[in-house]
């Protein structure tokens, strides 16, 4: 496979195409718009559907329609736009429909700004919309991962009949890196549940409306069983220099990458520090974190937020080891030297 | 490590410089890095150098983000006001009128990608033509919509229609950023040369990151080489 140079947003779009995405429905918003732009050009070339909806809400509901018809469908946006999509995402989950949603996060709350941020973690991983549900959430830290995880997102969405989300910050969307695009298209499974016209078969009904408490409870029990299955099977993470690490940094996406540079420098100075980088944010890779409490004397969580993933780390560590936190707010991206400085401070506090 | 820009001089064959040099092309082909390096190289000649940021397309990694560094090195940057820096507005600076009307010095125009970007300079057609210009089309064949002769031909037409100006030459910028090797340059440049022949456009120069410019590399190419210092780096690579 020959390498090409792609921006994160374009790469996600091309990966979706190779994953067999039949329909893209979206609405522009910085810093994600290149994804929609790329799709607006490529999808018609391939005879597939591209629709710029009149709003984010319209777009997510078009995704729902396409998914119900058995098609691989996706939408993408950035933070405020993804807030608008939450009702539709809840409906996708309630209807057990597979779809891919991309959030290239920007600074918030409110209109915020167009700089990179990770402050939609709670929204993405704890449901976001109404009701008891979880979308599967994947967090790329390179443009290559943005490609690989987009393909994986389509596969996991189909496997569990559940919405899957790519959660990247503005940097992941905007950065350009050399990548390899897979040549083979990912094939969707058969979808006997899809509403495709019921000639010669029983009607398929896709719904999230259950008027009575009993049937809705039964429905929820089925959904919860599925989420436990996802939690048991799909936790993913990456490790960097964890061997002998007494300080374990937990960071994802761009922050994980900045931490990696800082850790390389700290290791050169003999500091025993390593990186645990979650790839799935739901299901959170809590089992692997829990198993690190034997080795770690302190955890340091880094996020471009006020401390959202921090809570998942604390839940996994269960108070056995101290958990420290540093956050960057309002669209500011940390530098490796800031992180190195924090590593030094934490080391003085706990490891000396 | 990267060689300092102070060592950068334009090859003799590039010294015949129009008053206005325009860098246009497909989105993400390296126009801004090329324009910045070119403007810095021009400071070695007599006459003032102005870089105008015409990008109405890209939210990050624009000339205006480098204005302090450039001003320190003698390049005046004409860009939307500081106030609008972190807002993604399709705005250009009113000062562009003055810059284009001036009869002295060199002006380098960094144009946003694709036809949408090119459209932002179309309104200045008359002024640009009066001053004398060359419009360069920056090509990186490792980028989407840049990798075949047909696509490059389409791009020329698309940009010219929207900029309302003629392309004078191609600028060959074959790269995979950090993964670029001499072989990458060779392979990519071959395609740009073919495109140039097909389109009847000369290749003004070939861009190469300074780390690749070992002794003798220049002799392998018919065109002059513009050494590039990378100014934009991702946050984890400060």
| Residue of chain A whose alpha carbon sits nearest to that of B59 | A31
* Model ipTM value: 0.89
- Tell me the chain A residues in contact with residue B84 when contact means C-beta distances shorter than 8 Å: none
Tell me the torsion sign for CA atoms A26, A53, A116, A134: negative
- Tell me which residue range forms the domain holding A308: 238-350
For chain A, the domain total comes to 2
CB B62 within 8 A of CB B148: no
Burial grade of B126 (CB within 10 A; 0-12, 13-18, 19 or more): exposed
Reported residue count of chain A is 352
Q: Which of A174, A176, A178 minimises the CB distance to B59?
A: A174
Pick the residue with more confidence: A324 or B87? A324
A199 and A54 part of one domain? yes
Q: Which of B27, B145, B234 sits opposite A171 (nearest CB)?
A: B234
Segment B176-194 shows an average pLDDT of 96
Do A262 and A277 share a domain, yes or no?
A: yes
CA–CA dist A66, B63 (Å, integer): 41
Any idea what the CATH number is for the domain that residue A259 is in? 3.40.50.920
pLDDT computed for residue A5 by the predictor: 97
**Average confidence score pLDDT of chain A:** 97
CA distance B60 to chain A (A): 7
**Contacting residues of A for B236, CB less than 8 Å apart:** 254, 257-258, 260-261, 336
The model's pLDDT over A179-201, given as tens digits with 9 standing for 90+, comes to 999 987 678 999 999 999 999 99
Per-residue pLDDT reduced to its tens digit, A8-52: 999 999 999 999 999 999 999 999 999 999 999 999 999 999 999
Q: Are residues A217 and A242 in the same domain?
A: no
pLDDT > 50? residue A153: yes
**pLDDT class of B11 with cuts at 50, 70, 90:** low
Same domain, A121 and A58: yes
**Listed residues A182, A200, A233: the one ending a domain:** A233
Q: Are residues A245 and A342 in the same domain?
A: yes
CB A5 to CB B177 under 8 A?
yes
* Beta bridge partners of residue A6, listed in sequence order: A177
Among A5, A171, A261, select the one facing B142 at the smallest CB separation.
Answer: A5
Average pLDDT of the residues in B74-99: 86
Q: pLDDT at position B85, please?
A: 74
Whichever domain contains A189, its CATH number is 3.40.50.970
Query: Do A177 and A221 belong together in one domain?
Result: yes
User: pLDDT tens digit string along A84-111?
Assistant: 999 999 999 999 999 999 999 999 999 9
Interface mutation vs chain B, best among A1, A2, A5, most B CBs within 10 Å: A5
Q: Specify whether A201 is located in the same domain as A284.
A: no
Residue B73: pLDDT band with limits 50, 70, 90: very high
Residue B87: pLDDT over 80:
no
Which residue among A3, A7, A114 sits closest to B86, beta carbon to beta carbon? A114
In this prediction, residues B153-160 reach a mean pLDDT of: 95
A84 and A117 together in one domain: yes
Determine the residue of chain B that is closest to A116 in CA distance.
B60
pLDDT for the residue numbered A352 = 81
Question: What does the DSSP 8-state code read for residue B5?
Answer: G
Give the torsion through C-alpha atoms of B230, B232, A177, A5, to 10 deg.
-60
- From residue A20, give the alpha-carbon distance in Å to each of A16, A34, A108: 6, 19, 33
Q: Choose among B87, B144, B176: nearest Cβ to A10.
A: B144
Q: According to the model, what pLDDT value does residue B3 have?
A: 36
| CB < 8 Å to B175, chain A | 5
- The torsion region of residue B48 among left (phi > 0), alpha (psi -120 to 50) and beta comes to beta
Domain boundary among A200, A233, A266: A233
Interface of B with A (CB under 8 A): 27-28, 59-61, 86-88, 140, 142-145, 147, 175-179, 234-238
Q: What is the pLDDT of residues B34-43, one digit of tens each?
A: 999 999 999 9
Domains contained in chain B, CATH given: 5-232 (3.40.50.300)
Residue length of chain B: 238
Q: Are residues A225 and A245 in the same domain?
A: no
Partner-chain contact B236 A38, CB within 8 Å: no
Whether residues A16 and A155 fall in one domain: yes
| A25 and A144 both lie in a single domain | yes
Summarize the confidence of residues B143-153 as an average pLDDT.
91
**Among residues A233, A259, A292, which one ends one of the domains?**
A233
How would residue A286 be classed by pLDDT, with cut points 50, 70 and 90? very high
Does the pLDDT value for residue B86 go beyond 80? no
Cβ–Cβ contacts within 10 Å for residue A198, how many? 10
Q: With cut-offs at 50, 70 and 90, classify the pLDDT of residue B9.
A: low
A310 and A228, same structural domain?
no
What's the rounded Cα separation, in Å, for the pair B34 and B175? 12
Residues B204 and B14: their CA atoms lie apart, in Å, by 8
pLDDT at B13: 58
């Amino acid at each position: 496979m020959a390498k090409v140079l792609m921006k994160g947003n374009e790469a996600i779009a091309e990966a979706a195409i190779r994953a067999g995405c039949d329909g893209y429905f979206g609405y522009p918003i910085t810093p994600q718009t290149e994804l929609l732009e790329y799709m607006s050009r490529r999808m018609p070339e391939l005879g597939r559907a591209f629709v710029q909806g009149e709003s984010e809400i319209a777009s997510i509901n078009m995704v729902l329609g396409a998914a119900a018809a058995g098609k691989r469908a996706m939408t993408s946006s950035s933070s405020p736009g993804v807030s608008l999509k939450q009702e539709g995402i809840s409906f996708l989950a309630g209807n057990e429909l597979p779809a891919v949603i991309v959030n290239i996060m920007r600074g918030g709350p409110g209109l915020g700004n167009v700089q990179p941020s990770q402050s939609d973690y709670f929204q993405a991983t704890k449901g976001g919309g109404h009701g008891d549900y979880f979308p599967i959430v994947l967090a790329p830290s390179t443009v290559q991962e943005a490609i690989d995880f987009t393909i994986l997102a389509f596969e996991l969405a189909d496997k569990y009949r559940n919405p899957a989300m790519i959660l990247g910050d503005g940097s992941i969307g905007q950065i350009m890196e050399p990548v390899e695009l897979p040549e083979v298209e990912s094939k969707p499974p058969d979808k006997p549940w899809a509403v495709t016209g019921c000639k010669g078969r029983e009607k398929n009904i896709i719904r999230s409306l259950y008027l009575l408490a009993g049937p809705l409870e039964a429905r929820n029990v089925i959904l919860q069983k599925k989420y436990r299955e996802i939690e048991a099977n799909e936790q993913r993470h990456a490790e960097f220099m964890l061997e002998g690490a007494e300080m374990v940094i937990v960071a994802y996406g761009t922050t994980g990458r900045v931490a990696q540079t800082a850790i390389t420098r700290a290791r050169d100075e003999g500091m025993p520090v390593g990186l645990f980088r979650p790839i799935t944010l739901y299901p959170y890779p809590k089992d692997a974190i829990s198993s690190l409490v034997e080795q770690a004397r302190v955890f340091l969580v880094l996020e471009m937020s006020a401390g959202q993933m921090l809570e998942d780390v604390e839940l996994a560590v269960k108070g056995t080891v101290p958990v420290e936190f540093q956050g960057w707010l309002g669209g500011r991206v940390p530098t490796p030297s800031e992180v190195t400085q924090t590593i030094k401070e934490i080391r003085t506090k706990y490891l000396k | 490590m990267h060689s300092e820009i102070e060592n950068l001089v334009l090859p003799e064959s590039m010294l015949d410089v129009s008053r206005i040099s325009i860098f246009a092309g497909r989105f993400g082909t390296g126009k801004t890095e090329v324009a910045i390096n070119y403007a810095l190289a021009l400071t070695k000649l007599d006459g003032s150098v102005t870089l105008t940021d015409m990008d109405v397309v890209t939210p990050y990694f624009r000339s205006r983000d480098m204005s302090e560094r450039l001003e320190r090195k003698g390049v005046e940057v004409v860009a939307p006001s500081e106030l609008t820096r972190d807002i993604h507005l399709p705005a250009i600076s009113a000062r562009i009128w003055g810059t284009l009307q001036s009869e002295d010095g060199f002006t380098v125009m960094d144009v946003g990608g694709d036809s949408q970007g090119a459209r932002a300079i179309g309104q200045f057609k008359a002024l640009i033509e009066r001053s004398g210009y060359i419009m360069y089309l920056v090509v990186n064949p490792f980028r989407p919509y840049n990798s075949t002769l047909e696509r490059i031909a389409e791009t020329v037409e698309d940009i010219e229609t929207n900029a309302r100006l003629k392309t004078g030459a191609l600028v060959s910028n074959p790269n995979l950023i950090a993964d670029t090797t001499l072989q990458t340059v060779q392979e990519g440049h071959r395609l740009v040369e073919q495109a140039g022949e097909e389109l009847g456009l000369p290749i003004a120069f070939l861009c190469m990151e300074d780390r690749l410019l070992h002794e003798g590399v220049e002799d392998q190419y018919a065109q002059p080489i513009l050494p590039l210092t990378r100014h934009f780096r991702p946050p984890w690579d400060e």
